[in-house]
Structure formats: structure tokens, C-alpha cells
Structure 1
Amino acid sequence: MIGRERSVSGLSAADPIAAPAPTRAAADRRVLLVLCLAMFMAVVNFQALSPFLPAVARDLKTSVALLGQVTTTLMILSALLGLVIGPIADRFGHRRLMVGGFLAIAVNLFATSVVPSFPALLGLSLISGAGDAVLFGLPLAIAGSYFTGVARRWAIGWTAASLPLGMVIGVPVVTAAGSLIGWRGVVAALGVVTLGAAALARLWLPRQSSPAPRPARRWSFLSDYRTLLDDRGLRSLYAMSGLRGVCWIGVVTYLGAFLADDRGFSPSGIAVAYMVVGAGEMAGSLATRHLRFVSPRILIAIATALQAALVAGIFVLPLDPALTLSGLAPLMFCEAVSFVAVATLLTAETPGSAATTMILNGSVINLGSAFGSAIGGVLLAIGGYAALGLGLTLFGVTASVVALLSARRHTASHSLAP
């Protein structure tokens, strides 16, 4: 499959002789499986408590509203910690950081399963945020640097598809298990699964999937970011990521409440809607590799503009439940297409390292997501769901305009090249 479509760039640096083709193909599949597990567990860790918030609030003697702040804190900490973790991954190797990310998530889950109070749970956000920063950004960096050519699109697409897979499969399974063993039991079980994933990362990821580690110098990581941000093309791509993050998380955060309050969905109907959302996003992640006939920047502009139009239609127009549900899959399909296209461009065009590039992208998305959650609440309080839809649409349209301007500059610079 993928192994037959690329030349290997990341097997053990200690082995100077290329492995036979069947061995390379098997190694490729193992590497891709670990990357998909990382993204899957990042989502499950992020959403682990969501189905149990009322029960968690009762156990910890707090409110659901306060528990919601744990998620916001996690996103902000993940964004800030990612700024340090990216350069660390470049200096000490991707495999070590991936194993460390899995272990951080496992520690967070085990500690959460026995947490006695809300302040203690909030404190665990530091560990959870560090793990999320690694498992959300670094797998895409490895997919973009370990695989090459056409296989890079395949690898990034499958890795990105594991995010919605966590919602489609992970969250329902966690919810069902929680009804049998309680929220503390299911969170502890997730910790055991994450330890197993850490072991697979230790065994299957290549020893050297990045340039040789460099000696660390105080504040030297700032030069890594200066290299990235001095590039006008990358600045545009990061702007697209942040703006898209605002639009995307604004939709996801308030979708359940919107479906129940404004469209009259039952709890089972909302569960179906979230499965539709995850399926649409997964399909978009896998379909992007087949859209090579479109310039990536134009593809981002089109997909983001369609996403913005669908947000406006779903939240503003008085649609019946069936039409509302039918619009969710294409909405998330477009979101996933633009996500994978941005990630592919970042890994292909970065003047710096893949790890720092992609973890910075994850930090930008997390900051945009935190802002989207906050601004969404303000818009909802001011003008209801119609105001929320219009506000989020504005961010999507802005991202599309940035993509179009970037495409024009990119075309002009290449036409002037000798």
C-alpha cells in the first residue's frame, strides 16, 4: 500500500543498508498505525469526561459549567506548551517525544480516575496539555517527513482521519463502557490502553525520523520560530489554521445545544448527529488525496468558503431537523479537506523542521479553538444561534480570502522564477 508508493526516509539511522521492499511496507504500516493511534488518543483524552460531566460534577461537588473550563484550560496550555515541545522534538528525536506524549496522557488519565476535587482536576490540565500538544501536532510532522511523494498525502490523510474516528468510535465506546463500570473505571481503562500505545510507539517508530539532534542553547528555540514566521507563505497558512480553528470549534462546542434548543433534537438524535459529523470529517480527510487536480491553496479557499456557507445555512436559516442533519456531513467534509491540505502544504514547504512546523500549527489551532469557544459564547448571549452562525461564518470567509490571496502570491512568485 503506502510502502510501495514511496522511498523510505526514516528507518533506523544506524542501519546504512535499505531494507527489502516487503520489510519497508510492513514498517510503513506500523509507523502509520502508531500515528493514527496518537491522533485517536488525543481526541479520546480531550473528550473522555464529556459524556459524564453531570456525574463528575456530583462526585467532585462542582458544576458542569466549571468543568467546562477544564477543556478551555487544556487548549490554552496545549498551545503554549507546544511552542517549547516542537524544538525539543527536533533536538531529541520524534520517537522519544511521541512515547513521552503517550505517557503524559496515561498519567493524566490514571490521575483523573482517582481525582478527589475540581482544583486537582484543573491542575492535571498541565500534564494533559503537554501530552495533547505532542499527540496532536507531532504525528502529522512524522507523516510529512517519514513519507514522501504521493504517500505523504495518504499518510497525512489517514493520520488526520483518526481525529474524527475518535469521535465516531471512541466517544460512543467510552460512553457505553461508562454505563457499566462508571466514569472513573472507564478513564482508568483508557490509561491502560494509552500505556499500550506508548509501548507500540517505542517499538515501531523509527529511531531517527528527523535531522540529527542539535545541541540546545538557551532561547535558541526562538530562532526556529523566526525561521518559520519570516516565511510569508507559512504565515498565511498559519493564519488560515487559526481562523479555521475559530469557525470549527465554535460549531462543535455549541452544536449539541443548538440541535436540542433550536431544532428540537432528542438525545439519541444528537448522538446520531455527532456520528454524522465524525463520518463527514473522516471522509474529507481520506478524500483529499484524490483532489490533486486542484491547487492546494485554491482547494483550501473553496473548501473553507463552502464550510462558511454551510455554517450560515445551518445556524441562520429555519431548516427542519432532516435538512439540518443533512448539512452536517458536507460541513465537516469541507473542514477536513482544508485541514489536510494546510497540513500537506506546511510539511512540504517549511523552511524549518517538520516537528516545530506542525506543533506550531497545532498551537495556532488550539488558540483559535479557545477563542472560538469564547467568542461563540459571547455571540450566543448577544443574539442567539443566528448571531453565532453569522459570526463564525465571518471567520470562515476571512480564512478563504487569506487562502485566495496566498494562492495569487504563490502563482505570481512561481511565474517570475527563472
Structure 2
Amino acid sequence: MSSDDFNVAKVPTHTVGSTALDQAPRGFLALVTAAAFLTFAQAFMVAPILPQLAQAFHTDSGTIGLAVPAYLVPYGVMTLLWGPLSDRIGRRPIILGSLLTFAVLTAGTALSGTAGMFMLMRLVTGAAASGVVPISLALIGDVFPFAQRGRALGWLFGGMAGGIAVGSTAGAVAEPFIGWEGLFLVSSAGILMIGVLSVFLLPVSQTTRNAPPWNAVIAAYGKLLSISRGRRTYSYVLLNAVLHSGIYTWFGLYLVQRFELGPIGVGLALLGYGIPGFLFGPIIGKLADRYGRARTIPAGVLVAGVCAFILAIEAPLPVVVITVAVLSLGYDMTQPLLGGIVTDLPGTVGQSVGLMAFVLFIGLGLGSLIFQGLLVMGFPLALVVFGTAALLGAGIGLRLFREEQAPATAD
């Protein structure tokens, strides 16, 4: 990684409002990447410790597992507000306010005494956290032209992938030593530190001149879905989220039941998830900028489907560990590239990104619930269902995204 990778001062800017966005401070891209890392580390450290949380709150894994959609669904819903609001008051206040509230509520979660209180805290924390990554994505859309956006988004989504990997592993490995409460307190401290750095490193963006009035916001969301490029992109965001969340959310339980692994074993087995994205995200984004997204996006869904079938046949543990890493690569080949398309749709970037985040996190919540419903028939059948859906989705994607060549074409 060169020093210019995290320096956006040399990158041409877009006009945001009446003037061009001022040169972003050095370190801006590193900052939002770190924010994405911590946001997703905090979100995904819960799934691997569901058995421990169930024991701590004297309930079963199925009940405490509802804490996952309890976080994801309000996260998605609130982005419908944060996106348009950031168009009106700027990206910086939304990101700073979300980081501060996020840090406080994450610390407060450690005080939960019952499963109900824990899930309530996850719900409000999800709503607060939802202003960080989606609005950072919108800010990148302000700063970088579409032809250079893939690489920048690769860093952002690479941070998310790295957060998933570290959060999953650290959650499982560290919980026996510092307890689940300690996990949330450490996460809160890290988020607060990023918030402090954001005061100095976040650029001050202008409001968006063509933002629709509040009474036209719903109609503007409808307009995004009225064009074919918008419909196919948001539909694929939903499909991709359902597939990956369903498989991954319950992976800790899968490892416990199949291999009788303890917390540390589960954490080590999950270590590979997210590492490919952290290492190769910017490269994937750069290739998409150069060659287009027409084949890469369907290929990513195909990778997820193949991984689901490998897990369904009850492969040995070393193969499962490798499959986990490859599964995350499938996500890295899809979601960042879909995000790039979304920032190029007509209308305001904040609103188009807000709708994407809404669809993404609703899909993540639905995927968790759908897979949980299929688990009554066992992991192999649930994985086969999800793998089949992914293969069908990959085939459909080849047709849907055939126009996403380089340079991308508008609808």
C-alpha cells in the first residue's frame, strides 16, 4: 500500500452543493476504513458467542439469536433517514453524531442483566450505528469520481471485511478471558477513539443543492426503484445480503455442533472470514473500475453458492476453514461493486446510499431469520437451499448486469 492510497487530496472532487468539496485531509480514507472496521467488528462479534450469551442469560440459542436481527433491522431502517438528512446538513455531523452515540450505547450494552434488555440495547445501538458506514460511503461518492470510486470503496469494504474477521475471531477467543461484557467495553473505547479522530480528519462537505424537499423523499426513493439499473442493483443487494447473513450468522453454532469446538476453536476457525476482502478489496475495486462489473458481481454470488454446498456435504474441518475464507471473498466480489453502482444512480448520493443500506441490512436480518427457520431440518438441508438460491442468483445476475461494462452506462 502506497502513501497515496489513503490520501484523497490528489483525487478530483465532485461538486457538492454550490462549491466543490474542499480537499479532504490526509488520512480521511484511512479513518473511514477504520470506522468501518470497528463498526462491523462490534456487529459480528455477537454471532460466535451466542451459546455463551444464552448461558449467561439463562435462555436458549434460538432466543438470544434474535439479537442479531434486532441489531440489523433497525440499522437498515434508520439509514432511510440518515441518507436524506446528510444531503441537507452534510455528511460530517451525521458521522460524528453516530460515532458518539454508538460508543455510549455499546458501553451501555455491557450493563444488560437480561436477554430482553440485551436485545433492546442491540436494537437502539443498531439504529445509532447506522449513520457511520453508509454515510461514509456517501462521502466517498462525493469525493471520488465514478471511474476511481471502486478502489476507494474497496478500502472501505475491506475495512468492513476485516472487522467481520477480527470481530468474529476476537469475540469467540477473548470472551472466555474478559467476558461478553468486556468485549462491548473494549469495542466502545475503540469507537470513541475513532470519533475523536473524526473531528480532525472528516472533511466538511456542503449540503446537496438538488436534495428534494422532505415531503418528496418517499417519491425520490420510488424514483430510484423506477429505473431498471436501480431495481436490479437493489434487488441484488437484498439477495446477496440474505445469502451471506443466513450462512454466516449461524456458523458458530454449526462449528459447535459439527466439530464440538470450544469458544477458542470457533474463533480460530472463523479467522479467515474477511481477510481476503481486507487484503484484496482495493484490488477487486480497481479491476472493476478498469474492466466493469458485469461478470464479477455474478461470479461473487456463484462463489457463495459453491461454498454453501461444500459446507452441506460435511467436509473435514481444514476444508471448512478454507471455505469460510472463500465465502467472504464472494461477498467482497459483490457488495463493494454494487455500492459503486448505487453511488452513480440519478439523484442525491445520500439518499441512494441510504436506500442501499436499508436493503442490505434488512436482507442481513431476513437471512438470519430464514436460515434459522430452515435449521429445524438440519444444517445440510438449510445450506443446500441457500446454495441453490445462490446458483440461480448468479445465473440471473449475468443477464441483469451485462450492461455494467467499463465505463459503466447510465440507465
**Shorter-chain TM-score: what band?**
0.7 to 0.9
Report the CA distance between 1:94 and its aligned residue: 0.5
Please point out which of 77, 81, 86 is paired with 1:80.
77
Shift of residue 58, structure 1, vs aligned partner: 5.5
After TM superposition, list the pairs within 5 Å mapping 1:151-190 onto structure 2: 151-173=148-170, 178-190=175-187
Taking structure 2 as the reference length, the TM-score comes to: 0.86
Match of 2:374 in 1: 379
1:119-168 deviation digits (Å, cap 9, x = unpaired): 33333234212223222322222222212355422210111011121133
User: In structure 2, what is the equivalent of residue 238 of structure 1?
Assistant: 234
Structure number with greater Rg is 1
Distance 2:18 2:353 in 1: 26
The 1:171–1:326 alpha-carbon spacing in structure 2 relative to 1, beyond 3 Å, is closer
Alignment of 1:138-149 (within 5 A): 138-148=135-145
Residue 36 of structure 1 aligns to a residue whose secondary structure is helix
132-141 or 68-77, which moves further after superposition?
132-141
Inter-CA distance 244–197: structure 2 relative to 1 (3 Å threshold): same
Structure 1 residues 60 and 269: alpha-carbon distance in aligned structure 2, compared to 1, 3 A threshold: closer
| Structure 1 counterpart of 2:248, from 245, 252, 255 | 252
Letter in 1 for 2:351: T
Q: Distance in 1 between matches of 2:279 and 2:269?
A: 15
Alpha-carbon deviation of 1:83?
1.6
Which has the larger displacement, 42-51 or 88-97? 42-51
Q: Which residue of 1 aligns with 2:32?
A: 35
What is the rounded CA distance, in whole Å, between the counterparts of 2:397 and 2:272 in structure 1?
Answer: 27
Deviates more, 1:132-141 or 1:7-16: 7-16
1:395 equivalenced with 2:389 (yes/no): yes
CA shift digits 1:203-226 (9 cap, x unpaired) = 211111652485853x33212212
**Larger displacement relative to structure 2 (143-152 or 89-98):** 143-152
Q: How much does 1:234 deviate?
A: 1.3
Q: Distance in 2 between matches of 1:263 and 1:220?
A: 54
Deviation at 1:48, TM superposition (A): 4.7
In structure 2, stretches of 5+ residues that fail to align are none
Match of 1:221 in 2: 217
User: Which secondary structure does the structure 2 equivalent of 1:296 belong to?
Assistant: coil
Q: Is the 8 A contact 2:17 2:207 kept in 1?
A: no
Alpha-carbon separation, structure 1, partners of 2:236 and 2:358: 13
Q: Distance in 2 between matches of 1:70 and 1:404?
A: 35
Following the alignment from structure 2 to structure 1, what is the Cα–Cα distance between the partners of residues 251 and 55? 24
The answer on whether the counterparts of 1:288 and 1:337 sit within 8 Å (CA) in structure 2 is: yes
**Which of residues 181, 193, 197 is equivalent to 1:196?**
193
- Taking the aligned partners of 2:322 and 2:55, their CA distance within structure 1 comes to 36
CA distance in 2, matches of 1:362, 1:234: 14
Change (3 A) 1:60 1:4: closer
- The Cα offsets for residues 256-284 of structure 1, whole Å up to 9 and x where unpaired, read as 23233335656544322211122133334
Bigger drift between 152-161 and 129-138 goes to 129-138
User: Map of 1:301-316 to 2, 5 A cutoff?
Assistant: 301-312=298-309, 314-316=310-312
Superposed, which structure 2 residues align to 1:245-394 within 5 Å? Answer: 245-262=241-258, 267-292=263-288, 294-312=291-309, 314-347=310-343, 349-382=344-377, 384-394=378-388
In the aligned structure 2, how far is the partner of 1:17 from the partner of 1:324?
Answer: 46
Could you tell me how far 1:360 is from its partner in structure 2?
1.4
Deviations 1:179-212 (A, max 9, x none): 5554334423432332222222222111116524
CA offset digits 1:218-255 (Å, max 9, x no partner): x3321221221122101101111111111101110222
How many percent identity over aligned positions? 20
Point out the structure with the larger helix share.
1
The letter of the residue matching 1:69 is: L
The one of 13, 16, 26 aligned to 1:9 = 13
Q: Aligned partner of 1:389: which letter?
A: L
How many Å separate the matches in 2 of 1:266 and 1:105? 30
Structure 2 letter corresponding to 1:374 = L
TM-score (norm 1): 0.85
Q: Is the 8 A contact 1:90 1:211 kept in 2?
A: yes
In the alignment, residue 7 of structure 1 is paired with which amino acid? Answer: V
Greater CA drift, 368-377 or 394-403: 394-403
> For 1:62 and 1:318, how far apart are their aligned partners in 2?
28
Give the 3 Å change call, closer, same or farther, for CA 209–200 of structure 1 in structure 2: farther
Distance 1:125 1:322 in 2: 33
Give yes or no for the alignment of 1:106 onto 2:110.
Answer: no
What amino acid is aligned across from residue 315 of structure 1 in structure 2? Answer: L
Length, aligned pairs only: 404
Please state whether the residue corresponding to 1:116 is helix, strand or coil. coil
CA distance change for structure 1 residues 12 and 176 in 2, over 3 Å: closer, same or farther?
Answer: farther
Amino acid at match of 1:203: F
In the alignment, is the contact (CA less than 8 A) between 1:12 and 1:206 conserved in 2?
no
- What SS does the aligned partner of 1:352 have? coil
Alignment RMSD, CA only?
A: 3.2
